[in-house]
C-alpha cells in the first residue's frame, strides 16, 4: 500500500512570527500533523486500499472507519492549511476569486467578518472554510473535528475547500490562550491569497 507522508513546510517554523509563534508551528506540524499521517496509514492498512487518493477517499468517506475519517481529514486539512500560509503573503484576492468574493459577500471585509463569526461560533475543535460548492458558487461553513466540505457524510455545505482556518486550540493556544478572536484576526496577516486563488481555479475545473 502506498503510504502517506508528512509534507515539508515551504517556510521555517519561525517564519510566521509574530502572528504564529515558533513553538506552535513546530508542535502543530511535527506532532499533530505527523500523528494524523501515521494513524491514517495504520487505519488504511486494515482496508483493501492499495493506492489511495486522498481527495477521492474523503469524497466517499462514509465507506470507511472513523479512524480513516478523522485522520484522513486531519492530513488533508493540515496540508491545505500549511500551503495557504506565507511569511510574504499576497494580502488580498484578485481576478476571478476577488470578483466572486465581492459578488457573494459584498466586500473582502464582509467576507472576513463572516469567517470570523463562523470561527467564533464553532463550539470546541474544528475548522472554518471558504469552499466552492458543486454549482460553482462560494460559501462559508464550519465543521467539527477534522471534517471538511468534501466529505460525503455531510448533509449540507458540500464542495471543494480553498481556504481553511484551524480553530483547534493546538493551532493558537500558546500565543493567544483563550482569545480565539485575536487569532482569527491575526490569520489574515499570513494568509497568501495567491495560493487561495490557485485552489479556486482548481476547484472550478472540478465542478464544471
- Which three cell numbers, joined as nine digits, stand for 7? 509534507
- Give the relative orientation of helices 66-84 and 193-207 as an angle to the nearest 10 degrees: 130
For residue 82, report the phi and psi dihedrals to the nearest 5 degrees. Answer: -65, -35
Q: Which of 25, 7, 31, 6 is nearest to 171 (CA)?
A: 25
The answer to whether residue 131 sits within a structural domain is yes
Cα of 154 vs its chain's centroid, Å: 16
The answer to whether residue 144 sits within a structural domain is yes
The H or E element containing residue 165 is: strand 159-166
Bridge partners of residue 159, in order along the sequence: 133
Q: What integer pLDDT is reported at residue 160 of this predicted model?
A: 98
**What CATH number corresponds to the domain at position 170?**
3.55.40.20
Q: What integer pLDDT is reported at residue 50 of this predicted model?
A: 81
Q: What integer pLDDT is reported at residue 205 of this predicted model?
A: 95
Q: What integer pLDDT is reported at residue 90 of this predicted model?
A: 97
Q: What integer pLDDT is reported at residue 208 of this predicted model?
A: 74
- Which three cell numbers, joined as nine digits, stand for 143? 465543521
The answer to whether residue 38 sits within a structural domain is yes
What total of structural domains would you count in the chain?
1
- Which three cell numbers, joined as nine digits, stand for 104? 457573494
For residue 140, report the phi and psi dihedrals to the nearest 5 degrees. Answer: -115, 140
Q: For residues 149 and 131, is the Cβ–Cβ distance under 8 A? A: yes
The answer to whether residue 9 sits within a structural domain is no
The answer to whether residue 35 sits within a structural domain is yes
Sign of the torsion formed by the C-alpha atoms of 188, 191, 192 and 198: negative
The answer to whether residue 183 sits within a structural domain is yes
Q: Which of 160, 177, 198 is nearest to 84 (CA)?
A: 198
Ranges of the chain with pLDDT below 70: none
Range of the domain at 68: 21-208
The answer to whether residue 3 sits within a structural domain is no
Q: What integer pLDDT is reported at residue 51 of this predicted model?
A: 84
**Distance, CA of 62 to CA of 139 (rounded, Å):** 23
The answer to whether residue 14 sits within a structural domain is no
Amino acid at each position: 500500500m502506498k503510504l502517506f507522508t508528512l509534507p515539508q513546510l515551504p517556510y521555517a517554523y519561525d517564519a510566521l512570527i509574530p502572528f504564529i509563534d515558533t513553538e506552535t508551528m513546530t508542535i502543530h506540524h511535527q506532532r499533530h500533523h505527523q500523528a494524523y499521517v501515521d494513524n491514517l496509514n495504520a487505519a488504511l492498512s486494515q482496508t483493501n486500499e492499495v493506492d489511495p487518493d486522498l481527495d477521492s477517499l474523503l469524497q466517499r468517506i462514509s465507506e470507511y472507519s472513523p479512524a480513516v475519517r478523522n485522520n484522513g481529514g486531519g492530513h488533508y486539512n493540515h496540508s491545505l492549511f500549511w500551503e495557504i500560509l506565507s511569511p510574504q503573503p499576497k494580502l488580498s484576492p484578485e481576478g476571478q476569486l476577488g470578483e466572486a468574493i465581492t459578488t457573494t459577500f459584498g466586500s473582502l471585509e464582509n467576507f472576513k467578518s463572516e469567517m470570523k463569526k463562523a470561527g467564533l461560533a464553532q463550539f470546541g475543535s474544528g475548522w472554518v472554510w471558504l469552499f466552492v460548492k458543486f454549482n460553482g458558487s462560494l460559501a462559508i461553513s464550519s465543521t467539527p473535528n477534522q471534517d471538511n466540505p468534501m466529505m460525503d457524510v455531510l448533509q449540507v455545505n458540500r464542495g471543494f475547500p480553498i481556504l481553511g482556518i484551524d480553530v483547534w486550540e493546538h493551532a493558537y493556544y500558546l500565543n493567544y490562550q483563550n482569545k480565539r478572536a485575536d487569532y482569527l484576526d491575526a490569520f489574515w496577516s499570513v494568509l497568501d491569497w495567491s495560493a487561495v486563488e490557485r485552489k479556486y481555479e482548481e476547484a472550478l475545473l472540478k465542478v464544471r
